[in-house]
């Protein structure tokens, strides 16, 4: 398991304030001390003048961590580089990687990831971005390369292209949870397994819908409330199933939902904003759901009338 840092700097969706930084640092320290060393971020994380704030905070937290870090490589920072329309050349994409390294104050990233594919709307740009991944890998700016929001067909293409350049594709990040386990996600998982690519599951708690903390009468603040209002009323059966299994296991609903991802062979990266989040998410490790429990959860999930809306940048 790793932790996601989308909320670190995002005022619009997650209500970030700089006064939260001390607790975010506690989150980071607690995670590392408990063996979690994968942190997912992006050069686009952070709203307005806080753009890149997630990377800046991670860099600071690594430097200030008082614990057994022998080298910065002991912390795996997985950064996603946005496929902005002005990033038209491989050199510009490598420049984005160097800017991330500056914000993080690191010499090398754990995983450099293409945040989304441009195949659906700017196919000529796509090849330049792929070449950028090759170049940053060859220059030693990243230890590994990955992609995000790629569908199975496009994943096979980039895997083949990178392999022709002698660059292994290490990871593929996709929205994957009990609310996002359709045919395409399962096909992607099969492709990943066949090609030796690790699947990283973002939003494993469905933006919080699978935590059991929200009802139609108590929705989260901000834009998430619109999505929750559409989907949450149809989740009674799934949430009831999660609650029942959680009680039987002596776990929380969040821990059961994250453990489902782990049992499916994915690496979940739930977002964390508070120490309580970290402590709860750590409870998803060290045990496994039974095959019968997995089947029960998936049956309840498939019966839900509405699923999570897929990322607009997701490709086939």
Q: How many whole angstroms separate alpha carbon 94 and alpha carbon 22? A: 32
Handedness of CA 215, 221, 226, 228 (dihedral sign): negative
Largest Cα span, the chain: 54
Question: How far apart, in Å, are the Cα atoms of 82 and each of 198, 236, 261?
Answer: 21, 36, 26
How crowded is residue 114: how many other Cβ atoms within 10 Å of its Cβ? 24
Those residues with Cβ within 8 angstroms of residue 205's Cβ, 6 or more apart along the chain or in another chain: 177, 211, 254, 257, 258, 270
Phi and psi (nearest 5°) for 147?
Answer: -130, 165
Please, what is the Cα angle at 48 between 37 and 25, to 5 degrees? Answer: 30
CB 171 within 8 A of CB 144: yes
CB 230 within 8 A of CB 161: no
Half-sphere exposure (Cβ direction) of 202: Cα atoms closer than 13 Å: 23
Those residues with Cβ within 8 angstroms of residue 291's Cβ, 6 or more apart along the chain or in another chain: none
Please, what is the Cα angle at 252 between 221 and 238, to 5 degrees? Answer: 75
Given the residues 45, 137, 202, 214, select the one marked as catalytic: 45
Give yes or no: 45 in active site: yes
Catalytic residues: 45
């Amino acid at each position: 398991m790793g932790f996601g840092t989308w909320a670190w700097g995002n005022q619009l969706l997650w209500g970030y304030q700089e006064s939260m930084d001390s607790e975010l640092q506690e989150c980071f320290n607690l995670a590392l001390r408990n063996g979690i060393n994968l942190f997912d971020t992006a050069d686009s994380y952070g709203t307005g003048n806080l753009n890149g704030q997630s990377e800046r905070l991670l860099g600071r937290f690594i430097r200030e961590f008082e614990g057994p870090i022998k080298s910065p490589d002991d912390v795996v920072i997985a950064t996603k580089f946005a496929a902005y329309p002005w990033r038209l050349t491989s050199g510009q994409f490598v420049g984005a990687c160097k800017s991330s390294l500056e914000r993080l104050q690191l010499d090398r990233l754990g995983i450099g990831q293409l945040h989304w594919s441009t195949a659906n709307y700017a196919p000529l740009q796509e090849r330049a971005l792929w070449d950028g991944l090759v170049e940053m890998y060859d220059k030693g700016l990243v230890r590994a390369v990955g992609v995000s929001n790629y569908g199975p067909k496009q994943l096979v293409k980039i895997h083949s292209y990178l392999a022709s350049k002698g660059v292994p594709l290490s990871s593929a990040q996709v929205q994957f949870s009990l609310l996002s386990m359709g045919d395409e996600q399962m096909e992607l998982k099969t492709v990943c397994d066949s090609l030796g690519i690790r699947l990283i599951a973002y939003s494993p708690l469905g933006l919080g819908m699978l935590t059991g903390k929200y009802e139609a009468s108590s929705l989260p603040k901000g834009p998430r409330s619109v999505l929750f209002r559409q989907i949450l009323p149809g989740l009674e059966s799934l949430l009831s199933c999660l609650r029942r299994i959680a009680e039987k296991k002596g776990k929380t609903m969040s821990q059961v939902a994250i453990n489902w991802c782990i049992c499916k062979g994915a690496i979940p990266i739930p977002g964390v904003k508070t120490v309580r989040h970290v402590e709860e998410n750590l409870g998803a490790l060290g045990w496994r759901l039974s095959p019968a429990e997995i089947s029960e959860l998936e049956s309840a999930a498939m019966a839900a009338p509405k699923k999570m809306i897929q990322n607009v940048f997701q490709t086939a």
